[in-house]
Structure 1
Amino acid sequence: MDVVSDTHADEVEVEPGVYLAQLAAGSEMSIQHLRIEPGGRVPEHSHHHEQVGFVYQGEQTFVLDDGEAVTVGPGESYRLESHEVHAAENRGEAELLAIDVFSPPRPNPDWLDS
Structure 2
Amino acid sequence: MTDTSTFPDDLLQLQERLHRAHAAHRAYLAELPWSVEPLAGWARGERFSHRGDVPDSPGWSEEQKETVDRMWAEIRELSIAVVDHPHWATVAREDVVAARMQLKKETRPAVLSDLAEAA
**TM-score, length of structure 1 as denominator length:** 0.22
Greater strand percent: which structure? 1
**TM-score, length of structure 2 as denominator length:** 0.21
Query: RCO (CA 8 Å, sep 6+): is it higher in 1 or 2?
Result: 2
